[in-house]
Structure 1
């Protein structure tokens, strides 16, 4: 009977201990499989699953911080992260740190095989005597298994299974640790542990901890600093050295120093000296997201916000916008922006000197590189900030409620790339009608005797008029575009068909964001949209700069692109699979021929007329709407002005062979608040000065001439 009672008595003691979560108190490495079977796990199935899990954990990498750089690839701007972490190899981690973490967490790390049998037995005795959980027995390997399972979890259930304080979790963790040590060497496990551990203050991994607490690289940590950080892993909040009372942190650091002495890492005399030293921190608060850019780069926040919106639309980073932003915050990408500091400075000078941040009118500019679609500048007379406390209020035009105005502080995507519909772009849309006509074979010399007012039978008797009586008379595409003759372009739109102009605008990147615009652009109504040529649709500066950039690039449209480089932590470029099955780098330009090169060259020849430039083939008819531009830019330049009814908004889009820029001025809070004719010159000057300053010192390039066939007779 005695032989029978002893196992029963042991089992009786086991039950309450298991309920207390003390599986480690009775599980030795050799007993892992029998116990697993005893708990009904199924030995063979569990063994296979555990081995597969251990093999999988070999390649698990925890979430890492994504870094954003200026176009030089070296100037850091901001970071995106859920867990602030940068993975570093063991060779980049101070030996003192390696020694300190082993001394603090697992003194027999180099002798056990994943589970420390002596530690388990010791914990069992101590916990049995205390009647609770007073001592654990997790090795560094077991702790890493737990962290890696958490980092690799894809569902809430998997997260719960990886961290739950249960008997089964502890047994699986121990067996996985044993198998993992067959997959990885001790240095490899230590490297992964140090890059996964949480040290408090949003510092995940030793790189972040070194930077946040001591403002240095992990390779530079001394013994006192290493002991301080190693002491944090057990309880980051309790031992936080950045708290007002450092006693707990100091006591814990000194404990780690003592353990380092026992292991022979530090002499007794040195330990005593070190323990007398206070903890000296040099705290760093790592920036996060677009509002954390350095003050001198505050205006770049709008570009950063555009980057986020662009990123959330890229299938390369996930199945939906949430997955893609999660990838941005966890993927450890290196992101080099296409924003050019020289062009950005020119744009800011061109915009901010003309309209203060305290103005209700937003005055902005976007510059795009023809042939690549890379966005080179985004400037607007606003501060990029979430602090709206000093902003005024305005009445929502569609409601009676009061809302905070967008000035002087805002994070609204006023320049494009977000959800805002934009602003009516006026006569800048005449470019799309002219391109459609040219693309259909109509020559630049197409002439019409334009009256002051024109009644359109095609558009149900609609009768638009010109802005000035001086526009009356015979016009061609050169003079009609240069003077912005409404009646000529309504007639031209009739000849080519409004739907063709609408579809061409779509090929050049325009999207319809209001219910009215979507309805009018539909297949059923597009051909009746006579007012399309007068720019009654909303558009963003980003769209317009990119559309005109395609004209500058011989009709080759490139999707707007905010990056020069996007690479994974290992340096390989981020890629995606195109609709045709090709593998392409995310940061490479995505271009297509939207109109023929000859049509684009012809449109450019006519578009030189509004700027005061001289076309290669035709006559501008004596005067133009922005004739100061050529003199300011000092090189061949094309473009188009645009104003809406009562000058509620004013635009100018201009380009050279190297750069296209679109500028506007309008009230985003109240589209009925007219900027007035006196403000219409500001976008013209902003673009002209930006092109001049951005291209200063570069060789002068000429526009390619159109063919004689598309020019036509005089």
Structure 2
């Protein structure tokens, strides 16, 4: 102990001051975390902080390393950060509104603390203790700056100690304005922008000194989660709410008066210019960024120097974009349909091969809307789930259904519900095969009522549909697409039938390496879940690929036929022609197409799935399948064909209006 005292006394004054600061911070930290006070100062210094870097001006000017996203063959899709996306600007050129907004939302006590905020740390510790894990930090602007330049984002207490000590050192070495200047020049804002200068140019196409107040508020909203709040992503409402939070925080902190707060809250949201950056398959890229950010955290994706290899085939993607754009212009002119989306999957491994979220990502106002991942009503394309449920419960392709005018008020809370077929006609006694292949509405609703809404939703969710939510809101119209689904999930759900009833998780990412080329993740084939019996899957495939069975509705030469290939396909049109769909698959390719308007307004009458979506689907399938092996849907070896359909002696009434011979199969599920 005496020797330690003399060693301490012999140290230079700046070194003694550092150790005292370390002891003070460590003592405070360990009290909060319940750490042992038996740890001596030397052990803390040498074991935890010995490798702590000096926050010299040279070190403080260091930059994060960019991450890159590639297609499956190594073609660059997007660079998440690059040196050209950062430009230092002095604090004097950064609008005061942006400085104030950043302090208000990130660190309201910035000018009062000495590097860390005691109350914030205590509050965060309490919440972490309550959650039994480190979920919330309490980092000040100074701590964030230390972390950005020197530390990893590991959620461990040792990193927090280092962060805290570095913050103290930075506060000792630099003025508050210097710290704020370094912070605003290094913090990530998304879309390759590190620092406010790059962010201003990328998001607004102007110099940072030219930003108005609302633009400053929106920029200050981004650093918390740049991918999630990206102005070019799908979460526009979240970004708008975050910007409002910034304004409220500025008022609470004293940067805005009452009338100023009210004025700015009443302003229109900020208008962003399209990102002037090289990006291919942009909707897919931002989908990937959100996926990885959820797993590794925003900062690690932006700063970690990752190489991310995806499942996308850029040649398929370009082909999809060309076809969507070509038919999109035709549909807009003829049917007032201004948008379209397409996804392509490999049913055998779950890999996403192409994703077009809209006709033009860079189109003002709605180009960044990703229709591939947004819930829309599927119309009749939902019917395969209904019939698959019924077949699993005893109905067969040759079972007889009566297509007649029917009021389903008894299944609709007493409210009249009288669906009509798209053709306006009724076809009398029809087989299940003919009803599904021809997409007749009345038989589909009768089958749904027979098997029950819950069973149909159970199957849809087993197939990967996640958007149906509260089941109590659904009635018999669910059979005709009365519940919203996402194009990506819907395409994958139908693809399960083509994969013999086996479902695989999405596999959009094949490999991730860090800046040292260490492999962080590598996709491996996973065992599929058998969510549909092979015989049920085969009958759905057989019906949806039966070109003769659908001919009475769709005609002989329709866009659901693919040259020299066995392809299952289904169209759908939502009420008032708001959504038009065509989805289809082989055992080695599944493609889904949606056409409509981003604002959910109606297209012109007649803009049904077979008219506006099927041509897009058809052209992509023709061109893509030409380079893939020919496949057939596998028939289970023990499957026995049912006997030919026979007309029954009498028909059961409206509940559920199937032939008496087959009613017993459905009656059991009603009891």
TM band (smaller chain): 0.5 to 0.7
Going from structure 1 to structure 2, the CA distance change for 1:147 and 1:374 (only over 3 Å counts) comes to closer
- Does residue 162 in structure 1 map to residue 166 in structure 2? yes
Q: Do the aligned partners of 1:598 and 1:710 also contact (CA within 8 Å) in 2?
A: no
Distance 2:186 2:301 in 1: 17
- Does residue 309 in structure 1 map to residue 266 in structure 2? no
Gaps of 5+ in 1: 1-25, 86-145, 171-197, 209-287, 318-323, 389-404, 576-584
1:495 alignment partner in structure 2: 450
Root-mean-square deviation over aligned CA pairs? 4.3
Q: Do the aligned partners of 2:369 and 2:598 also contact (CA within 8 Å) in 1?
A: no
Distance 1:450 1:368 in 2: 35
- Does residue 607 in structure 1 map to residue 544 in structure 2? yes
SS at match of 1:372: coil
Q: Do the aligned partners of 1:339 and 1:562 also contact (CA within 8 Å) in 2?
A: yes
Residues 224-282 of structure 1 show CA distances to partners (whole Å, capped at 9, x for unaligned) of: xxxxxxxxxxxxxxxxxxxxxxxxxxxxxxxxxxxxxxxxxxxxxxxxxxxxxxxxxxx
1:415 alignment partner in structure 2: 372
- Does residue 564 in structure 1 map to residue 501 in structure 2? no
Residue number among 451, 455, 469 corresponding to 1:518 in the alignment: 469
Going from structure 1 to structure 2, the CA distance change for 1:712 and 1:500 (only over 3 Å counts) comes to same
Residues 579-614 of structure 1 show CA distances to partners (whole Å, capped at 9, x for unaligned) of: xxxxxx5675574222112211111001113xx2x6
Q: Do the aligned partners of 1:654 and 1:688 also contact (CA within 8 Å) in 2?
A: no
- Does residue 663 in structure 1 map to residue 593 in structure 2? yes
Residues 594-643 of structure 1 show CA distances to partners (whole Å, capped at 9, x for unaligned) of: 2112211111001113xx2x6xxxx5675547852454443111111111
Distance 1:678 1:667 in 2: 13
1:581-596 equivalent positions in 2, closer than 5 A: 585=522, 591-596=528-533
SS at match of 2:464: coil
Q: CA deviation at 1:55?
A: 6.0
SS at match of 1:518: coil
**Normalization by structure 2: what TM-score?**
0.59
SS at match of 1:479: helix
2:58 alignment partner in structure 1: none
Q: CA deviation at 1:372?
A: 1.7
Residues 559-598 of structure 1 show CA distances to partners (whole Å, capped at 9, x for unaligned) of: 33322222333444435xxxxxxxxx56755742221122
- Does residue 554 in structure 1 map to residue 558 in structure 2? no
Distance 2:594 2:276 in 1: 25
2:404 alignment partner in structure 1: 451
Distance 2:553 2:445 in 1: 21
Going from structure 1 to structure 2, the CA distance change for 1:678 and 1:699 (only over 3 Å counts) comes to closer
Going from structure 1 to structure 2, the CA distance change for 1:27 and 1:603 (only over 3 Å counts) comes to farther
Going from structure 1 to structure 2, the CA distance change for 1:413 and 1:626 (only over 3 Å counts) comes to farther
1:106-505 equivalent positions in 2, closer than 5 A: 150-152=150-152, 159=163, 161-165=165-169, 298=280, 300-312=281-293, 314=294, 316-317=295-296, 324-356=297-329, 361-385=338-362, 388=364, 405-406=365-366, 410-416=367-373, 420=374, 422-453=375-406, 455=408, 457-459=410-412, 460=414, 462-468=417-423, 471-505=426-460
Distance 2:347 2:173 in 1: 58
Distance 2:424 2:152 in 1: 71
1:187 alignment partner in structure 2: none
SS at match of 1:428: helix
Q: CA deviation at 1:150?
A: 3.6
SS at match of 2:500: coil
Distance 1:39 1:433 in 2: 68
Gaps of 5+ in 2: 1-7, 27-38, 54-61, 86-145, 175-181, 193-230, 234-273, 645-671
Q: Do the aligned partners of 1:66 and 1:331 also contact (CA within 8 Å) in 2?
A: yes
Point out the structure with max Rg over C-alpha. Answer: 1
SS at match of 2:355: strand
Q: Do the aligned partners of 1:67 and 1:78 also contact (CA within 8 Å) in 2?
A: yes
SS at match of 2:417: coil
Residues 489-521 of structure 1 show CA distances to partners (whole Å, capped at 9, x for unaligned) of: 112112221211111111112122xxxx533x2
Distance 1:437 1:447 in 2: 13
SS at match of 2:309: strand
SS at match of 1:366: strand
